């Protein structure tokens, strides 16, 4: 393994961990899930939860797109160097 392969592998690992963390931080959209997390929400906390969920949803899209592009670029790089 070359240094570039190790670096690309580490970057892919970090990107995959970032996707996992961002997805796990999101709140579920199933009915009655608030009972598990403390269903007594005030109006202000519900609005802040929505903004946090939208922030996390946006970052999920960004990180997953970056991961997808990184995987394609890594495979193209590996193909070109081993040719």
Lookup result for tokens 């961990």: 17
Helices (H), 1-83: 3-25, 34-37, 43-82
| Global pTM value | 0.68
The pLDDT tens digits of the residues spanning 12-52 come to: 999 999 999 999 998 776 655 554 455 555 555 556 657 88
Mention every residue, 6+ apart, whose C-beta is less than 8 A from residue 31. none
- pLDDT at position 29: 66
Find the largest Cα–Cα distance for the chain: 61
Residue 22: CB atoms within 10 Å: 19
């Amino acid at each position: 393994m070359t240094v570039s392969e190790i670096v690309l592998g580490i970057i892919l690992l970090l990107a995959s961990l970032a996707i996992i963390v961002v997805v796990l931080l999101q709140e579920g959209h199933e009915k009655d899930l608030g009972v598990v997390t403390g269903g007594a929400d005030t109006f202000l906390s519900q609005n802040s939860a929505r903004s946090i969920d939208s922030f996390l949803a946006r970052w999920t899209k960004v990180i997953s797109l970056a991961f997808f592009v990184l995987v394609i670029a890594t495979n193209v790089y590996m193909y070109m160097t081993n040719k």
